[in-house]
Structure 1
Amino acid sequence: MADASPLLVEIRGNLQIMTLNRPEAKNAVTLEMAEAMVTALDAFDAHPELSVGIIVGAGGTFCAGMDLKGFLQGKRPTIPGRGFCGITIKPPRKPIIAAVEGYALAGGFEVVLACDLIVASREAKFGLPEVKRGLAAAGGGLLRLPRRMPYHIAMECILTGDMLSAERAHQNGLINRLVEPGAALDAAIELANAVAANGPLSLIASKQVATESVDWSRSDMFERQAAITNPVFASQDAREGASAFAEKRKPVWKGV
């Protein structure tokens, strides 16, 4: 019997795979799914042996956005302080990858944009169709998309509401890996393993600086960076990384 949980969580080594699990509704996000995502992401961030997360959709598609039936019942799938599907306002501290097959539309595309890396099938389709419904992509689409790809391409997507092909998204720098249909999760796992081989403290600090420094001033940006990166240089893992390099072996990270 299929698992009826709206979000499936699987641990593979030091990876956590989170599957949006409403294939009968193209994985449209419900309040229950958003709450489950918050729980899963908090557990992911807190687990000392987990380094990288992956979000994927069940049934050959990523996510069609908000569940409209739930919306009509007054159940918006947005968590205060965390955003749509529990991730768009406050993504996890650790790196996270979107593995996209099929459609990633509206809030589904905004979940993708909340991730640090994107792997997609050549047949995947992305879109922010909110303007076609008299709405606005307020779950991060309007904020993130113009920063992730050329402004005019992003604005065409935002203002027409038309879909963006994976090929065009890849050509314009939005997608890290473009793969054959059905191969997105395997390629995301391969990419995640390459990331997860690195120091866990280094990954968290590097993501924090890269994401937070967007609005730092030139006068204090190195000082603010140092507050985040100095503890990494003083860590046991930093000594282990240097020792492993000198001894020509793989490092054994402790996360301290």
Structure 2
Amino acid sequence: MTDSPIKTRREGHVLEVTLDRPKANAVDLATSRIMGETFKAFRDDPDLRVAILTGAGEKFFCPGWDLKAAAGGDAVDGDYGVGGFGGLQELPRLNKPVIAAVNGICCGGGLEIALSCDIILAAQHATFALPEIRSGTVADAASIKLPKRIPYHIAMEMLLTGRWIDAEEAHRWGLVNRIIPAPDLMAQAWDMARLIASGPPLVMAAIKEVVRDAEDSKFQDALNRVTRRQLPTVDALYGSEDLMEGFRAFTEKRDPVWKGR
């Protein structure tokens, strides 16, 4: 559908997802549901290994919730779809890497969507904020995630004041992986996606599940679940052809051929 707010491009094992909803790429309920279905399909497609999420245009990645839609009747507690707001935050079993290519303003729910990705690349002109405090509401997902990603006091300052930070400061606090000149952002995002996609998909899945499972666990409890093969992705990896292929390729001094099984 050419009028869909979500555009996709597929090449090899990589899926590019572009939020394209003029003028600002804000997300309403319908858009959130489409994003959820898009990432659900990505999750369930065995041939796709990595996704890139970006925004259309040069000014906005995503400002978050569409306040005009809310004023028109979109309930803030409405049906966001299978993946929660933005399609990523609550999508279960998403054991594939997602790269955010932040091409401009990234604030509110847009920053929460970026925080749901595994790697964040930012254009030089990108800016970040959580302005919910100024409209009398709470940035719920960011309040949970951001203090775990960057220094606590910096996260609290952003949450409590709504202060904007530029890409350089975001990089300094570890919010973004790297800053890239705007004309090169998507090319470098694709380079990284292809690099990741060339790796063993079963290992990627295991890494994501282990990290997610361990987030609120004691170290030994999390490690025990891994060593006892209690996580589905780890169990699949340890019994896989790919595991033996990695051993053989190392012994034979050749590049491994990953089959995902």
TM tier, shorter chain? over 0.9
What residue in structure 1 maps to residue 46 of structure 2? 48
Task: Tell me by how many angstroms 1:219 deviates.
Answer: 4.3
How far apart are 1:67 and its partner, in Å?
A: 1.2
> Structure 1 pair 78/63, CA: closer, same or farther in 2 (3 Å)?
farther
Q: Indicate the residue corresponding to 1:203 in structure 2.
A: 204
AA at the equivalent of 2:115:
L
Q: Which residue of 2 aligns with 1:69?
A: 68
Deviation at 1:190, TM superposition (A): 1.3
How big is each residue's C-alpha offset from its partner over 1:138-175, in whole Å with a ceiling of 9 and x where there is no partner?
Answer: 2x111111111111111111111011111001011111
Matching of residues 165-176 of structure 1 within 5 Å: 165-176=166-177
Q: Tell me the matched-pair count.
A: 253
Match among 231, 250, 255 for residue 255 of structure 2: 250
CA contact (8 A) 2:16 2:52 kept: yes
Match of 2:246 in 1: 241
Matching of residues 1-256 of structure 1 within 5 Å: 3-22=2-21, 24-60=22-58, 61-76=60-75, 79=80, 82-90=83-91, 92-138=94-140, 140-226=141-227, 227-228=230-231, 229-256=234-261
Separation (CA, whole Å) in 1 of partners of 2:24 and 2:183? 16
The DSSP-based 3-state class of the residue aligned with 2:87 is coil
- Report SS of the residue matched to 1:195: helix
* 1-structure distance, mates of 2:213, 2:157: 27
Q: Secondary structure at the match of 1:25?
A: coil
CA distance in 2, matches of 1:21, 1:80: 18
Q: Where does structure 2 lack aligned partners over 5 or more consecutive residues?
A: none
Unpaired segments ≥5 residues, structure 1: none
* Distance in 2 between residues matched to 1:152 and 1:219, nearest whole Å: 29
Deviations 1:177-214 (A, max 9, x none): 21112322221111112211111111011111112202
Contact 1:177 1:187 in 2 (8 A): no
2:171 is matched by which residue type in structure 1? Answer: H
- Deviation, structure 1 residue 81: 5.9
TM-score (norm 1): 0.93
Residues 36 and 81 of structure 2 are in contact (CA less than 8 Å); yes or no, is this contact kept in structure 1?
Answer: no
- Among all aligned residue pairs of Structure 1 and Structure 2, give the percentage whose two residues are the same amino acid: 39
Residue 29 of structure 1 deviates from its aligned partner by 0.6
In angstroms, what is the RMSD of aligned CA positions?
1.7
Alpha-carbon distance between aligned partners in 1 of 2:139 and 2:28, rounded to the nearest angstrom: 17
The one-letter amino acid of 2:109's match is: G
Deviation at 1:251, TM superposition (A): 2.0
The whole-number CA distance in structure 2 between the counterparts of 1:4 and 1:102 is 22
Give the residue type in structure 2 aligned to 1:232.
L
Q: C-alpha separation between the residues in 2 aligned to 1:85 and 1:9?
A: 15
Amino acid at match of 1:44: F
8 Å CA contact retained: 1:62, 1:104: yes
Partners of 2:25 and 2:253 in 1: CA distance: 46
Letter in 2 for 1:82: G
Q: CA deviation at 1:79?
A: 2.0
- Whether the 8 Å contact between 1:240 and 1:251 is mirrored in structure 2 is yes
